[in-house]
Chain A
Amino acid sequence: AQKVTQAQTEISVVEKEDVTLDCVYETRDTTYYLFWYKQPPSGELVFLIRRNSFDEQNEISGRYSWNFQKSTSSFNFTITASQVVDSAVYFCALSEVPGYSSASKIIFGSGTRLSIRP
């Protein structure tokens, strides 16, 4: 069965600190996609990254970086030099390819509420 676990419910750090959000997933399929979304107080989910299961290369985008390790089924997200505007709820998610064990849907983790203090 598909499952995404974000063990950190809430994290609070002081501005400019680095922070890592953990994500562990479960799936029986060999082909799948992993995502990170940000949900600010306004409510909409903002796409941050999509990674397919065959691409384990780490990715960096400005202050954001992602570490994908299939061996540990983890897809962790690090914010370097955090800023107050990074405060939001962050969701890790998993999607399998339609036609395999499930059709087209995204399975979300429970989210990590990140608070950046000035």
Chain B
Amino acid sequence: KAGVTQTPRYLIKTRGQQVTLSCSPISGHRSVSWYQQTPGQGLQFLFEYFSETQRNKGNFPGRFSGRQFSNSRSEMNVSTLELGDSALYLCASSLAWVGDTEAFFGQGTRLTVV
């Protein structure tokens, strides 16, 4: 079966712009989580969506937001981009909740803010 698909794979944006990243989970998976990976902070939890509801949120500013659609696809939006937002953004797909079974990760979207 198809894996987790994240688009786009690479993005270059300018400070102050906004960006939307997309994640299509594995068919049948209802939980989608987002993580930010940077060399300095490592892998940090952004938020988790389940059945179109945000179930949990990490310690990120309000510029980071997301949503989930009825087909479980999820989008993540970052507004007013800052240089520090440059990172690899990973999406994880799981059946019910992220620790219940293995979470499958996409290849990520590498965002560069210049």
Q: Does A57 contact B (CB under 8 A)?
A: no
Chain B 60-104 residues near chain A, CB threshold 8 A: 88, 90, 92, 97-99, 101-104
Q: A97 touching B105 by the CB < 8 A rule?
A: no
A-B pairs with CB below 8 Å: how many? 69
* Count class of interface residues, chain B: 20 to 34
Q: Are A111 and B42 in contact (CB under 8 A)?
A: yes
B58 lies within 8 A of chain A by Cβ: yes
| CB of A14 closer than 8 Å to a CB of B | no
Which of A32, A33, A91, A104 interacts with B43 by CB under 8 Å?
A91
In whole angstroms, what is the CA distance A24 to B110 when docked? 29
Looking at chain B's contact residues, the main secondary structure is strand
Decide if B55 touches A110 in the complex (CB within 8 Å).
Answer: no
Residues of chain A contacted by B18 (CB below 8 angstroms): none
Q: Does B27 contact A (CB under 8 A)?
A: no
Closest B residue, CB atoms, query A106? B98
